[in-house]
Each structure stands twice: as C-alpha cells, then as structure tokens.
Structure 1
Amino acid sequence: MTTDIKRRRILGAAPAFLAGMAAANAMPSALAAAPSSMAGCADAERTRITYYQVPMQKRWPVNEQLVQSKSYAKYFTKDLVAPMAMVNALEQGPLPAEFILPPTVAGLDKMMRTFESAPVSGYALVEEGPLAYAQSRHVFPGVTAKMFEWWFTWHPLESERYMLWFPYAHIHNSVDDPARLANSKLTYAERLYGNPNHITEYIGNLFLDGYISFDTPESFGVNPAALKTNGFTFNASGIISPADARNAPLVLMIHLGRDTPAGLEMINRYWIGTHSSFNRFKKFPDGARLSKAVTQRMGLDKAALENFAYEMALHDMTEFTCLGGFLPQIYREYGA
C-alpha cells in the first residue's frame, strides 16, 4: 500500500527491503552495535524511487539498449531504492546552519570532527561564493574498501559499466590513460590519480559534461592525522571541471571510506560553484576567478545553486545506494 506523494517527497512511500532486491545481502549482526545515525542508512528499510526528471526518464531505455549485450547486463535495473533515513533527512529541507561547511581547510577539519553527528543526507546554499553544498553518509553491508577501489579502476573502461551505477542518469565515462587505469601491477593511487575521468550525466535536469581530476584527500586540505585516527583508507576525492573549461574548478568532491563491522562506511561532500578558497588547489591556479566565471556563464545564481544542491543530494543517495547493492556480487564475478 502506498500513500500520496507530497511536497518534497519524490520517492515512493512503500518500503522495499534488501531481500527483495537482485543484489540483496544478509544484514550483519554487528550492525546493532553501530551508532544510530549510521544504522539508519544500513538497515533493510528502503523506499522505491518513483520520480525522475524527464531527461532521465528518456535516458533509461537508451542505456538499457546499450547495456543489454554486455555480460554484466543483469546488474542493470529499473527499480532503484533509497534508505528511508536519507529520505527523511532530505524531507527536513535545507541543513541547519551548524551543519553547513565551507570548502576551506577549516571546513574539512570540521567535517572530520563532526561527520558522525551530521545528518546522513542534506543540502544547503553556502552564501559565501555562492556554492551548492550536499552531504551524505552511507553504510554498505558486505562491501569493503578493496571493492570500491576495484570499482573506480574498472568501471571507467566502458561507459556501459558507468550506466550500471545510475541507470537513469549516467551516460558516459572514459579516462585519459585507460592502459594505466587497467594496469593491476600499479597501486590504486598510481592508476587513478592524475588520470582524469571524462563523465557525462544528468544531475536532475542539468546535463553535466566534465572532467574529474582525482587526487589524495590531503591535496585538497584533509588532515592526514584525522584520516588515520578515523580509519579512512578509501579515497575517491577530486575536482570536477567543465569539459570546455578544464582549468576551472567547478566542484570540490570528497569521497572517503572506511571498513566497519557493518560494511563500508562512506562520507561524501560536494561544493559546487565558486569560492575564494578554490585558489589553494595547486593543479588549478587562479581557481577562484575561473570558477566564478564558469558559474556565471552557467547561470548558477543562488536559487539555481540551492536547487542544484538538493538534486546533488538526491543523485548521491540514489547512485551510491544502487552501487552498494550490487557491488559485492559484481566484484566476485569480475574483480576477485
């Protein structure tokens, strides 16, 4: 039985359970010992997503046609779900001021101190900049840091693999040096860092055509001592720049993960737009001025950026829940 969709609720109200998903896993008993905010995103209660922007609706059958001949086509799905804890967090509207972080070194320091108490999902406008800001905290039962490292070196080699991650929104992914990315004799860092991914996808109605330059979290200002203290070993942080302005840092993206008894725990943060602190990125000199010009050219005023922040939070919640559902199975088949 379902209820009417109201206001911000763009997700189906009928809970779905991991047992009913193609990529379901048994819930580890250790989850009971996890913090309540953490358990909220790792429990079995899910709700089906029933609303997609029109460009995303049109993209799904195109992706289905492209993927169907691939050996991994069974992981491509139409029925996507999200954790109720994340849905409920977004239903509260923009984040309270105490949880809105700037993309500065001080903001990243606060992120590492407060991620366990922050809402599991959220969005806001950062007035200084301005910037869209989105955050999330996921727990993936049965998933490890090793699996995520494999995924980030495997999926960019074919765009159809990228489509599995978000069947309605992901279009293309390629990498500057595919031979280096595929070279298993190199470390994860040697394969991914300095080897940009070219992505095209939809974030809500917005078509994004950009390059992700991955690098160490320390290069963006995350304290290495905080990483070690909190046990974060997985990293897929980077700067996203528009394809037609590759020297302009439009997005600072932080993805950090750590293995826990309940599964991989991941914290994600996105700052989209422009900010004076963007000048600190060594690979993006004059970043503040260039990002401001790009933001203005794209028509990203404060209202558009706040909407972008909400769409980014929804996108993150959807794509990572989808990936976490099938990653253990696809890893055993192609990566182990």
Structure 2
Amino acid sequence: MISRRSMLSAAAGTASLAALPLRPAAAGVAGTLGCAPRYLGYRRADRAQPYASYMASSTRPIQAAAARAVDAGPTPASAIPPLSDLTRDLAPTGYSRLERGYGLTAGGQVWVAMHTRLPGNTAAMWDWWFGWHSTEPARYKLWHPDAHAFAAIKQDRSRIPGLTDRQKYVGNTSYVDEYIGDQLEQLAISFVDPERHGFVVPAGHTVVTGHVGSSVLPVRLGRLAHQIRPTGYGAEMRSRFYLNVASLGEVDARANLCAIARNPLPTLSTPLPFDVAFGRDLMQHCAAEMNHLSRILPDLYAEFRGTP
C-alpha cells in the first residue's frame, strides 16, 4: 500500500521541494520563521482574549440524528453519489437520499455526508466565521475544543478595508492541525469561489467549499463543501467530503516548514488511501464541531462581527 510519506515526498519532488526535510531541528526552524506552537486547550494568553467567555473545556455532544448515523455503519458504495454530482447533491432546494453517512465509493474515495441543524444561525454568520477564525489559533479552538490544536491563515485579510466576509477566506488557505479521531492531521484548506465551481448560491445562502490538502507538503487530498441555507428555526448545514482525490497543490514553503516544525515526528506513515474508519471519525468530527459552534455563533457574531 502506498504510504502517505512516499506520496507526499513524490509530490514534493515534482514541486521542486524534494530536499524538504521531514525531521528538522524543530525548535530552530520554529524560532527562525516565527512559527506559532501547537497545543490542545487554552493557555493563559488565550484566556486574556476578548472572546474568552466562549472558550469551553470540552466539545458538546453531537446531535441525536448524527449519532444514529455514525452508529449505523458504512454506506454501500452503490448508494454513494460520485464527486461529479456534488453540485447537484447540494442544490439550493430539496434534500438528497443520503444526508448523513460515510463510506467508500466504488473508486475508493472516502465519502462523508452530514446534516446539522443550526438553530438561530444564518449563512452570513458562517461566512463571517470562516473569514474570522483562522487568524488566531484560540479562535479556531472555539469550534472544537477537544480536537483543534492550531490554525493560521496564508493571507490575513482581516484589516483590508472594503472586503466582504466571504472575500476574506475565498481564494485563501487556512492551515490547521486537528485530531480526526486519534489521528493528528496537518491540513491546508484552500477555499474557492462556489459559484465558479458550479454551485448555485441564492441570497441568504452560502456554500463554503475548497480543496483539502496537506500543510506539510503541496499535495491535495480531496474536496469539501458545506452548504448553509435558511430554515424556519434558523439554518441548516449540509456537509460533504471526498478524500483520496490526490493532486499537486500550491507551494507555501514557510507554511510547510512551520507545519513540520510543529511536529518533529510527523504522522506521515499512516497509509494512504484514507480508509473507511477514517471516514467514520471524520463524520463524528464534523458533527461535533458544527453543532458545538452553532450554539455559540449567534452571540459570538453579534459581539465580534465588527472586529478584525
């Protein structure tokens, strides 16, 4: 089986980064580049942030329907829609036959679907969140305090005048370290314009979509999409993931080196492709983070929407 280490190393060679070390002197690299540390939970400096009242010691339980779907086991490949149907699957009206589930497609891609009720939420709140949270790791941890350990943004656009919330993250890359189940993942999420990628996004809706990649080397690992649309109780989120869709990503040498420096013994020996057990863990993770954030987002948005 191809290993994640060999896949990433091969991609790095193609991108002229073949000499990038996997085990540098982490402290020296971090100090030279000014890399921020990774850790779970909150430290004293985090508790001094103006949003500290939203910091929870643990993540809320997932919604009951999500828990039933996680426990139901994997979806048969014959029932999973292909990646090519993603924009139709997340149409602005109606529902798919499968709104919650995980499994492997016939082609070996890991597929995850999750539906999350978002009481009192709006699509605008989620556009704001995606443009706001990646500038400070402590903000990212508000989303899933049990599993989120680090975040940074390729280009901090928070103080650029005249930008909409969506413009702050679309065309930008968020670098995150998070635990999916017991596995530490160092990811680069590159957000793209949903309408340019075939999604229909009416007023009052949003679709947050992009490429899931590695923050260690310039490799894309899959796609994600989160559709948020209004309901009578607030909003709902329909999430989709397709992994094991590998291609080269963009080179960001500083982000790559900082990611390696945060983890001098990187977890790159886990086999690729991602397996069905990872799909189950990802489904659980998505259900947890989206539900947890939805409970604090209306107040967080009301208090901080005007701040960079």
TM (norm. structure 2) is: 0.73
Which of 162, 180, 198 is the equivalent residue of 2:140?
A: 162
Task: Name the counterpart of 2:101.
Answer: 122
The answer to whether the 8 A contact 1:147-1:328 is kept is yes
SS in 2 for 1:265: strand
**Offset of residue 313 of structure 1:** 0.2
The answer to whether the 8 A contact 2:171-2:193 is kept is no
Q: Deviations over 1:52-93 (max 9, x none)?
A: xxxxxxx65x43555322222221213412111111122111
Task: Name the counterpart of 1:82.
Answer: 62
Task: Name the counterpart of 1:24.
Answer: none
Which of 207, 213, 238 is the equivalent residue of 1:267?
A: 238
Report the Cα distance in structure 1 between the residues aligned to 2:153 and 2:174, rounded to whole angstroms: 4
SS in 1 for 2:72: coil
Report the Cα distance in structure 1 between the residues aligned to 2:159 and 2:79, rounded to whole angstroms: 39
Report the Cα distance in structure 1 between the residues aligned to 2:227 and 2:105, rounded to whole angstroms: 22
Which of 23, 29, 49 is the equivalent residue of 1:70?
A: 49
Which of 81, 87, 94 is the equivalent residue of 1:108?
A: 87
**Offset of residue 321 of structure 1:** 0.5
Report the Cα distance in structure 1 between the residues aligned to 2:182 and 2:272, rounded to whole angstroms: 13
Percent of pairs with identical residues: 26
The answer to whether the 8 A contact 1:89-1:120 is kept is no
SS in 1 for 2:275: helix
The AA in structure 1 aligned to 2:287 is M
The answer to whether the 8 A contact 2:131-2:166 is kept is no
**Offset of residue 119 of structure 1:** 4.2
Runs of 5+ consecutive residues of structure 1 not aligned to the other structure: 1-58, 285-295
The AA in structure 2 aligned to 1:185 is G
Task: Name the counterpart of 1:25.
Answer: none
Report the Cα distance in structure 1 between the residues aligned to 2:146 and 2:235, rounded to whole angstroms: 25
The answer to whether the 8 A contact 2:199-2:207 is kept is no
**Offset of residue 260 of structure 1:** 2.0
Higher relative contact order (CA 8 A, sep 6+): 2
Q: Deviations over 1:286-308 (max 9, x none)?
A: xxxxxxxxxx975124xx51011
Report the Cα distance in structure 2 between the residues aligned to 1:326 and 1:154, rounded to whole angstroms: 15
Q: Within 5 Å, give how 1:1-336 maps onto structure 2.
A: 60=40, 62-63=41-42, 67-79=46-58, 80-97=60-77, 99-104=79-84, 106-112=85-91, 116-128=95-107, 130-178=108-156, 180-183=157-160, 185-220=162-197, 222-224=198-200, 227-228=201-202, 233-246=205-218, 248-274=219-245, 298-301=270-273, 304-335=274-305
- Change in Cα spacing, 1:199 to 1:142, as seen in structure 2 (3 Å) is same
The answer to whether the 8 A contact 1:174-1:199 is kept is yes
Cα RMSD (Å):
2.7
**Offset of residue 148 of structure 1:** 1.0
The AA in structure 1 aligned to 2:220 is P
Runs of 5+ consecutive residues of structure 2 not aligned to the other structure: 1-38, 251-267
**Offset of residue 267 of structure 1:** 0.9
Report the Cα distance in structure 2 between the residues aligned to 1:223 and 1:238, rounded to whole angstroms: 12
- Change in Cα spacing, 1:143 to 1:207, as seen in structure 2 (3 Å) is same
Instruction: Report which of the two has the higher share of helix.
Output: 1
Q: Deviations over 1:152-183 (max 9, x none)?
A: 111111110001100011111111211x2443
Report the Cα distance in structure 2 between the residues aligned to 1:259 and 1:252, rounded to whole angstroms: 24
**Offset of residue 232 of structure 1:** 6.6
- Change in Cα spacing, 1:200 to 1:115, as seen in structure 2 (3 Å) is farther
The AA in structure 2 aligned to 1:198 is Y
Report the Cα distance in structure 1 between the residues aligned to 2:234 and 2:171, rounded to whole angstroms: 29
SS in 1 for 2:142: helix
